[in-house]
Amino acid sequence: MPDYIENLKVRKPSRDKKISLITRTGVDEIIRNCNNARDKAIISILYYSGCRVSEILSLKISDIVYEEYCVISHFHGKTGNRILGIIGYSTAYLRDYIKIKYDGD
C-alpha cells in the first residue's frame, strides 16, 4: 500500500451531533400555513413521496395518472426516470392545484 494511504488520517464522526428531522405534525403545520394550492401540493408531495424538488418542478400533466386511491407520477430527475405513487392528502392537494391552474375555477 502506498505511504500516502497508510498515513492518511481520517476523523471519526462525532456521535454527539443530533439530526433534527421534520415530523409529520411539522409538515401538516407548514401545509396549513400555505396560502395557495400550489404550495400545499409541493410541500405535501415532497414529504410524502420522497421525490426531489427538481422532479416536482419538471412534472407535467401528462406525467400524472389518476388511479382509484392514488396518483401515479412519472418523475424525470438527474438519475433518470422513475415512477412514484402519491397517496393520502397529497393526492387531494395535487387535484386542487390542477383544477385551479388548468380549469380556471
CA pair distance 72, 70, nearest whole angstrom: 6
| DSSP letter assigned to residue 61 | G
Query: Any residues with CB less than 8 A from the CB of 57 and at least 6 apart, and which?
Result: none
Cβ atoms of residues 43 and 78 within 8 Å: no
pLDDT at res. 22: 87
Query: Any residues with CB less than 8 A from the CB of 59 and at least 6 apart, and which?
Result: 73, 75
Residue 47 backbone dihedrals phi, psi, to 5 degrees: -75, -50
Q: Give the global pTM.
A: 0.71
Least confident range from 12-16, 88-92, 97-101: namely 12-16
CATH topology (fold) of 21-103:
hpI Integrase; Chain A (1.10.443)
Residue type present at position 1: M
pLDDT digits over 9-68, tens only?
Answer: 777 777 777 778 889 899 999 999 999 999 999 999 999 888 888 888 888 888 888 887
